[in-house]
Amino acid sequence: MPVTTRYAIPEPAAGMRLAPLGAIIGDPARAAMLWTLMDGTAKPAGELAYVAGASAQSASQHLAKMIDAGLLLQEVQGRHRYYRIARPEVATALEALMAAVGTTPKPRAVPAARRTPEELRYARTCYDHLAGELGVSIYDAMRAEHLLEGEGKEVQVTAAGHRWLAKLGIDEESLQGKRRTLACGCLDWSERRHHLAGTLGAALLSAMVREGWLMRSKKSRAVRVTPQGASALRKHFPRASLPV
């Protein structure tokens, strides 16, 4: 008797769910926004509107549709709203689609007038904690060294972190009693990744200034690393990619 091969028939409902998602991704403006976010950072609506060649109102509508579809997440930081790829599966799907196309698009470059001044991008204060490239690098290093764990609004100090902070002269108990969050990630507006905020972030910046590692600018929010600070930062954060 001939052998009959049985094939699983896809559920029609699955294809019906895929069609609307494909329509959302297939729009040129939305596709440009998604591909711009594939570097893993979060970007403001204005920048995404620029790279997509869309008006502010049109960009807002595009972003809302992608959020509703589960492709993007919105993160609010003060008065600003940033957008990022919602989860790794979305990025994987976009990469697979681009591989099928066979070419990699080049995002529209952001003009120099829109870029952050170099000294502020490198290191600056964000309210009362350290931000910029240096702040993000230190936060990443503290997590890599297992001094902190968690991300976003849920950041905890580990046992190793408690010991490290004590050596730096930071009295963690005095920080615990305040109404403000002890430690959390704050989305950096130039790096589009998180730096350390909360009472711990403020205490860490104060300690670095007190130790002479950092110097505040009198004219702006820029922060300068001293020669002594460069050596100390390399010692305390050996796994960090410190631009000093």
Q: Which amino acid is at 38?
A: M
In angstroms, rounded to a whole number, what is the distance separating the alpha carbons of residues 39 and 112?
Answer: 19
CATH 1.10.10.10 for the 12-114 domain, yes or no: yes
The pTM of the whole model exceeds 0.85: no
Angle among Cα 44, 46, 47 to the nearest 5 degrees reads 70
Instruction: Determine whether 18 is exposed, middle or buried from the number of CB atoms within 10 Å of its CB (0-12, 13-18, 19+).
Output: exposed
Residues 20-58: tens digit of each pLDDT:
888 899 899 999 999 888 877 788 999 999 999 999 999
For the chain, domain boundaries: 12-114, 118-236
Angstrom distance (rounded) from CA 91 to CA 85: 7
pLDDT, tens digit (0-9, with 9 covering 90-100), for 141-193: 999 999 999 887 889 999 999 999 998 889 887 887 666 788 998 888 788 78
Of 171, 172, 213, 205, the closest CA to residue 186 belongs to 205
5 or 181, greater pLDDT: 181
Percent composition of the chain: helix, strand, coil (DSSP 3-state, to 5): 50, 20, 35
Side chain identity, residue 148? L
What whole-number distance in Å separates Cα of residue 229 and Cα of residue 158? 25
What is the phi-psi region of residue 40: left when phi exceeds 0, alpha when psi lies from -120 to 50, beta otherwise? left
Mean pLDDT of the chain: 84
Q: Which residue has the higher pLDDT, 72 or 100?
A: 72
- Sorted by sequence, the CB contacts under 8 Å of residue 87 that are 6+ apart come out as none
- By the 8 A CB rule, do 211 and 233 touch? no
d(CA 186, CA 180): 14
